Amino acid sequence: MKVNVDVFDKNDWVEQLAKNSGKVVMHLRADGVLNCDDAEKIEEVWDFYYGKCDNEVYNMLKQFGEIFCYFMTNEQAINALEDWFPRKSQLLDGEEHFYIYANVISPDMQLVMSNE
């Protein structure tokens, strides 16, 4: 049976969220923690980020592993991302569990910044 269906992935969804809200959207995912089986390393990650990023962002990311945040401007989102989470390339060998995936998408659905 053939039907008309639109298929989209998470990136498409985030772009539409930014466009429809008229705000900058930051997509965060705790990849390092989600791919780590060592409870001590996971605790080390959350201890490190405690107080480093916004409390609500910290709590929601720790609880759910993946969240989305609104910002009013690209600059606010870029500054937050640079302050809160290191780029993947800045992590040393053995620090992969600290990696937080992040993309910033503007209301015109353009990638503003990524920390990959």
Separation CA 79–CA 28 (nearest Å): 15
Beta strands 66-71; 111-114: pairing state: unpaired
- Residue 35 near residue 22 (C-beta atoms within 8 A): no
- Give the tens place of pLDDT for each residue, 83-115: 999 999 999 999 999 999 999 999 999 999 999
- Give the tens place of pLDDT for each residue, 7-28: 888 889 999 999 999 999 999 9
Question: pTM for the whole thing?
Answer: 0.91
- Phi, psi of 27, rounded to the nearest 5 degrees: -100, 120
Separation CA 32–CA 95 (nearest Å): 9
- How many CB atoms are closer than 10 A to CB 104? 25
